[in-house]
Amino acid sequence: MFLCSIFRGEVVFRDKRAAWLFIAPALAFLLLFKIGPICVSFVESFMMTSYSGAKSFVGFENYIYLFKHDPVFWNSFKTTLIYSVVLNPLIVFIALVLALLLNGSQKFVKFFRTLFFLPTAISFVVVAVIWGVVMDPYYGLANSFLKMIGVGAQPFMNSTSQALLCIIFISIWRSSGYWMMYFLAGLQNIPESLYEAATIDGANNFQKTMKITIPLLSRTMSFVLVANTAFNFLTFAPVYILTQGGPNGSTNLLMYESYKSAFVNLDMGRATAISSILLLMIFVFTIFELRITKANFEY
């Protein structure tokens, strides 16, 4: 059901042989480098590995442990949910607005598109340093500025209530230009003739955007929603480098927990169980988002 709703091509051709020939090369790559390892990792989530490397089958124990006994799982689960609920719509909205503003052919368009895209091209290690300095709670640029305009210094990443918001802000800064690109590409598929017809009917710009642009962007929109949701659930570099999950676990995303389990605690069972749960969360989220946005597309 869900799958069909995303890939709604108007299927007409039934040439099986041709279809498989077109798909075969990609499928070979996917099976070898993605699905194979994914299956291994999924099986791993039902195993326990001893320190010597011996594996034993333990059924759902890793999952039961997470749900029932793990002292940090539910906090991380909640943090991940909040993070995604806030970040996903915000980033898609900002990316869309930027794309709409920059869909013209004015002289400055090229400059701004490149400017918004640029943060994606900066190494994350450096992005972390930049924002660490800007948001330094005592001597940072942001606080110098806030003091100057009389707002007063903010604790930023030192506070349990602001740290996650800071991470969200940095994520938006870093990747909204990247997602803007997909919308820009999608906008090119909307025929100019529709706008001309609307102009003749006396529609203003806002009406044109709501009645023509947004509905006709629905395929791009579903792509961005699905891809961006997966991306946000699985990214943990900002947390790893900037806050290490703190203060007091307020930025301890599930993916970071999974990472620590895999490479610090050497507990692959727990790590892969978390990534399976993440996969499920991504699916549920995506379906939900597609439903919501599709409702808005009805016109």
Partner 1 sequence: MKKIALFLLVVFFAVIGFAKTNLEVLWMGWPTDKVMTLVNEFQAANPDISVDVQLVPYTQLFQTIEVRLSGNSSTPDVFIVDGPLNPSYAIRGNLLALDEYFSEEELEPFFDSSIETATFDGKLYSIPYTTSSVGLYFNKEIFDEYGIPYPPETPGERLTWEEVAEIAKKLTIDENGDGTPDVWGLIIEQIDRPYQLLPLVQSLGGEVISPDGLSTAGYLTSEEFLKAADFYWNLFNGWKVSPQGLNNSSISREYFGNGKAAMMLGADWNINRLAEFEDLEYGLSPHPYFEGGIAVTPTGSWHVGINANTKNVAASVDFVKFLTSKEALAEWNQLFGHLPARQDSYDLLEEEFSKPEWQILLYEMDHTAMARPVTPGFLQYELILRETFNSIHYGSDPEQSLKDAETRIDRELRKFK
Partner 2 sequence: MKKKNKISKKTIIIFIVLAIIGLIYFIPLEWVTASSLRPSGSLYEYTEPLNMETFIPVNITFENYVNIFTQQHFGRALMNSLIVACSTVLLTLLVSSMAGFALAKFDFPGKKIVFAIVLITFMVPFESIVIPLYLTVSALGFINTYAALILPGVANGLAIFLFNQFFSEIPTEILEAARIDGASWFRIYRKIVIPLSVPAIITVIVMVFMFQWNSLFWPLVATHSTRLEVVQVAISANRMTEATHWANLFSSAVAGSIPPMVLFFFLQKYFVRGISGTGLKS
* 227 belongs to the binding site for partner 2 (CB under 8 A): yes
* 144 belongs to the binding site for partner 1 (CB under 8 A): no
Residue identified by tokens 């790559």 is 29
**Residue 146 near residue 154, CB atoms below 8 Å:** yes
Stretch that binds partner 2, among 3-11, 70-78, 150-158, 245-253 (CB under 8 A): 3-11
Q: Is the backbone peptide bond immediately before 137 cis, with ω within 30 degrees of 0?
A: no
Residue 143 beta carbon to partner 1: minimum distance, rounded to whole angstroms: 8
User: What tokens appear for 18 in the block?
Assistant: 């041709």
How many residues line the site for partner 1 (CB under 8 A)? 35
> What sections of 188-217 are H helices per DSSP?
192-200, 205-208, 214-216
**Residue 182 near residue 223, CB atoms below 8 Å:** yes
In whole angstroms, give the CA distance from residue 94 to residue 2: 26
* Integer CA distances (angstroms), 251 to 76, 151, 236, in order: 8, 25, 10
- Show contacts with partner 2 in window 147-176 (CB under 8 A): 148, 173
- Show contacts with partner 1 in window 215-254 (CB under 8 A): 240-249
Of the residues 171, 220, 232, 293, which one makes contact with partner 2 according to CB under 8 A: 220
Q: Which does 160 bind (CB under 5 to 8 A by kind): partner 2, partner 1, none?
A: partner 1
Of the residues 13, 139, 206, 299, which one makes contact with partner 1 according to CB under 8 A: 139
* 93 belongs to the binding site for partner 2 (CB under 8 A): no
Q: What is the DSSP string of 47-86?
A: EEE-TTS-EEE-TTHHHHIIIII-TTHHHHHHHHHHHHHH
Residue 122 beta carbon to partner 2: minimum distance, rounded to whole angstroms: 5
- Show contacts with partner 1 in window 156-185 (CB under 8 A): 157-158, 160
Question: 3-class DSSP state for residue 108?
Answer: coil
* 125 belongs to the binding site for partner 1 (CB under 8 A): yes
Residues forming the site for partner 1 (CB under 8 A):
50-53, 71, 125, 132, 136-139, 143, 147, 152-153, 157-158, 160, 240-249, 260, 262-267
